[in-house]
Amino acid sequence: MPEEGNCEICQKPASQKCGKCHSVYYCSKEHQKNGWKVHKKLCKPFKICHDETLGRHLVATKDIKPGDIILQEPALIWGPSQITVPVCLGCCKPLDEKYSRPCFKCGWPVCSETCEKAPAHIPECRYTVLRGDRVSIKNFGVVHPTYQCITVLRCLYQKQFLPEVWKKIDRLQSHCEERKSTRKYEQDRVAIAKFILRFFKLANVFTEEEILRVCGIVMINSHEVPLTQSSYIAMYESTSMFEHSCSANCSKSFTNKGNILIASGTYIKESDCKGHLLPQTFIENNNEKGSDWQCNKCQNVTSAYSVHDLLERIGKDLAEVPKGVSNECKEFIKSYEKFLHRNHFYLTDVKVALSQIIGQEFEDGLPAVSEEDLELKAKLCQGLSDLIKALVPGKTNNSVNYLGIRITLHVVGERRVRGILLFELHAAIAEMGRRRRDPEELHTILLRSKEVLEESVDLLKYEPDSIQEGKIYKQAVMNLKELEFVLKTVHKTLGDSPM
């Protein structure tokens, strides 16, 4: 079924998307044509996505050629840099005693009557007037500490008076938790947060924590704009969602009006590809750097170095996962399933462990497990069993002759793993059945549990009693007898013959 939304023109259900941005729907070509005059000003070749690792980020919705303009947008907020000489708060040009004048209302120096009335100057002007005393700046040409509060103050003004603008600012990352242990965080607390609360008498309006969060937003998301002799900083809504990379595929510039302009530096493929990166060959020469990896669907190429570096980091994270803790296993899978094939051995190792951990963390076993985790356990066990069966389909050892020597292809290890997984699967299915009230539904579920358990018994029947697999075999045989008894009891209720 194609994805559906509401037509941008008539709001009726629609499945046709704008071919460029893939974010707007139309019910017909006629409505798409009618809406293009407005939409072309907003249409962009990317969409906003979100995940736990990257947060909000931008993903290409079409192939982008080198040099194409991806985005041009005005600043959400702009203001002087934290460390700056006195500048005009209407245009950010450096000032001196000769070419400056105090704002009639607040006293902050500006370069002209036009800048005195500039919309950007309203926040600090209004807060200064409300404090009841004008500002006096007399030292020009040297760094002035009072200016480090201006850009933060302009953001706070949006929070208090312009909620629609603040909503966009508030969505930006602040990294406050990471910053709390840094020297810069404490400097901002004293030089900006405490200063704003005291100097502008805003203790009843904002908290210290709110101001420090804004400090983080400004620090993380600001871009230096080199359009004046003393560069100023600005924050942009969509640009803040571009990911940073040492091997960037875009470049940035600015228009004369201060709009940021993002252009592609390389050929950027549409990112909806569901393919997988594979090496050109699995036979590598240790003296060489290794062949590039190529997507088996879109043919995108990544260097062997980048792939091995990523795998090495994931391997280190795997080694640090605490043993026997289901939440840690879930977090690892959630973090890396978007980077690794679902059957990659890192994920497979963790899935095997998680399939056994679920139910062992509670003294009461599976009855204490949530419905969600019970379903997860069953899904993991079934998927892993199917994977092993696909890799090693035979049930017995196979052998071949090679140069007169008998070579045996062992599948004993795989039989053991599948046997254990199916035993765990049977237990999960049986517990699901126990929670059902409908006898007919219970009967169907228990039949499935019996079928899985019988296969587990068959796979583990040759295991010695002295090892764990042999003990599980004995337990499986006992469970099978109990399951047959329960099925007979349910059969009497239903009046059907058990299968």
pLDDT, tens digit, 9 for 90 and up, residues 141-150: 999 999 999 9
What's the mean pLDDT in 333-361? 89
Burial code (b: 16+ CB inside 10 Å, e: under 16) for 183-219 equals: eebeebbebbbebbbebbebeeebeeeebbbbbbbbb
Residue pair 124/106 in contact (Cβ under 8 Å)? The answer is yes
Which of 3-7, 67-71, 218-222 has the least mean pLDDT?
A: 3-7
Helix (H, G, I), strand (E, B) or coil at 144: coil
Tell me whether strands 5-6 and 13-14 are parallel, antiparallel or unpaired: antiparallel
* CA dist list (Å): 155 to 134, 261, 308: 21, 22, 43
Check residue 290 and give its pLDDT: 66
Which of 208-217, 270-279, 367-376 has the least mean pLDDT?
A: 270-279
Check residue 403 and give its pLDDT: 32
Check residue 105 and give its pLDDT: 96
Higher pLDDT residue, 214 or 62? 214
- Answer yes or no: is pLDDT of 316 > 90: no
- Answer yes or no: is pLDDT of 399 > 60: no
| pLDDT one-digit tens code per residue, 288-313 | 556 778 877 766 677 776 677 778 87
* CA dist list (Å): 397 to 409, 414, 420, 449: 6, 11, 19, 27
What is the pTM for the complete model shown?
0.52
Check residue 383 and give its pLDDT: 92
Alpha-carbon gap, residue 283 to 296, rounded angstroms: 18
Structure-token pair, residue 133: 């005393």
Which of 124-138, 187-201, 221-235, 281-295 has the least mean pLDDT?
A: 281-295
Check residue 234 and give its pLDDT: 97
Residue pair 109/88 in contact (Cβ under 8 Å)? The answer is yes
Check residue 207 and give its pLDDT: 97
Give burial (CB, 10 Å; 0-12/13-18/19+) of 262.
buried
What's the mean pLDDT in 424-438? 87
Higher pLDDT residue, 57 or 261? 261
